[in-house]
Amino acid sequence: MKFLFLSAADKAQAWREAILARFPDAGFDVWPDEIGDKADYDYAIVWRPAAGELRTFPNLKGILSLGAGVDGILVDDALPDNVPVVRLVDRCLTEGMSEYVLYWVIHYHRRLGVYLNWTSQKIWKQMRQTDTRDRKVGFLGLGELGSDAAKKVAALGFDVAGWSRSEKKIEGVTSYHGEDGLTPFLNRTEILIVLLPLTDATRGIINKETLAALPEGASLINCARGPHVVDEDLLAALDSGHINAATLDVFHTEPLPEDHPYWDHPKVTVTPHIASLTVPSSAADWMEENIKLIEAGKPPLNTVDLKKGY
Ligand code: GLV
């Protein structure tokens, strides 16, 4: 069995070790320098591969995504036919994302940004504390990542809702769905977390209209993809005071360009796409499980629906 690794070269060594620990007889070649006869490769492990490249490997049995979001793979409109694209679902990735979300939900709920700013100026001042049960947190997207984070935020006592394409039944989480459900969901949400896949239907979903539908003083946490947000609309909503603050982990262009207004904006916190990083030693278990299914002639878990885009 032969693996093709098509992602940042500095990540290759950890993946090589994790894969060879599970498939000791396999080959593991890093694109482009180590690639031999393209017909020899069975599985491609990828993150944002160059468009058209995967099609040049004629015998692939599976395309394994290094990320939960597969938009970087699906932009390639010449993907090989009939090769399953498999989305990463991994315990470490999911738990890491929930930690990031919990941290920022608590930050905004307890107004720690304001306190840290005051204490840095030696200002001793207290604000009224809001009952956790009255704090309305909302998740745009209740997939693998959104539902885990929503359950954990709900477990702390917050009033949690989620919006998704179809109705979801998650204990402790009020479900809104479909186009009609979006505005009522936004109207009640004081802390909004974006964890949607990036598709044609969700691109630009955080825009002038949807931001205006949030209550005055709402906060935004985007840990999905940069293009979910119309940057000019978010900046205008922050500057008008309608939106209190935003934590952004993802951007239209990454790394975020040095001259981007987000860097210096007093109401924006930028993190460098670290909300949750893939841990090879754990994610390789999921790959092993899927490869075994494919080798046994069965469909892999979490196969991407190319029409839906996730
Ligand atoms: C990271 O952005 C991922 O899609 O897992």
**Whose alpha carbon is nearest atom 3 of ligand 1?**
67
Q: Is the domain of 118 the same as that of 70?
A: no
In this prediction the pTM is 0.95
Average pLDDT in the 91-113 region?
Answer: 98
User: Is 280 in contact with 104 (CB distance < 8 Å)?
Assistant: no
Q: Is the domain of 31 the same as that of 68?
A: yes
Q: Is the domain of 116 the same as that of 239?
A: yes
pLDDT in tens, 255-301: 999 999 999 999 999 999 999 999 999 999 999 999 999 999 999 99
pLDDT in tens, 111-159: 999 999 999 999 999 999 999 999 999 999 999 999 999 999 999 999 9
CATH code for the domain in which residue 9 is found: 3.40.50.720
Q: Which of 164, 118, 126, 128 is nearest to 144 (CA)?
A: 164
Ligand 1 centroid from CA 67, angstroms: 4
Residue 17 lies in a domain: yes
User: Is 158 in contact with 170 (CB distance < 8 Å)?
Assistant: no
**Whose alpha carbon is nearest atom 1 of ligand 1?**
67
Q: Is the domain of 184 the same as that of 37?
A: no
Residue 68 lies in a domain: yes
Q: Is the domain of 126 the same as that of 251?
A: yes
pLDDT in tens, 164-186: 999 999 999 999 999 999 999 99
pLDDT band at 191 (very low <50, low <70, confident <90, very high): very high
Domain that holds residue 60: 2-90+278-295
Q: Is the domain of 127 the same as that of 229?
A: yes
Rounded to the nearest integer, the mean pLDDT of the chain is: 97
Residue 305 lies in a domain: no
Q: Which of 225, 252, 260, 265 is labelled catalytic?
A: 225
- Our answer to whether residue 177 is catalytic in this structure is no
Residue 20 lies in a domain: yes
Residue 154 lies in a domain: yes
- Our answer to whether residue 260 is catalytic in this structure is no
Q: Is the domain of 83 the same as that of 95?
A: no
Q: Is the domain of 219 the same as that of 263?
A: yes
Which residues lie below 8 Å from residue 59, measured CB to CB, with a gap of 6+? 39, 40, 41, 42
Residue 307 lies in a domain: no
Q: Ligand 1: which of 276, 279, 286, 302 to mutate, judged by most atoms within 8 Å of the beta carbon?
A: 276
User: Residues near ligand 1 with C-beta < 6 Å?
Assistant: 67-69
Q: Is the domain of 44 the same as that of 135?
A: no
Q: Is the domain of 64 the same as that of 146?
A: no
CA distance 28 to 16: 6
Q: How many folded domains does the chain comprise?
A: 2
What are the start-end ranges of the H helices in the chain? 12-22, 71-74, 91-109, 112-120, 144-155, 178-188, 208-213, 231-240, 261-264, 280-295
Atom index in ligand 1 nearest the CA of residue 69 equals: 4
**Whose alpha carbon is nearest atom 5 of ligand 1?**
67
Q: Is the domain of 236 the same as that of 150?
A: yes
CA distance 141 to 75: 21
Residue 309 lies in a domain: no
The amino acid that residue 309 corresponds to is G
Residue 86 lies in a domain: yes
Strands 43-46 and 173-177 turn out to be: unpaired
Q: Is the domain of 32 the same as that of 144?
A: no
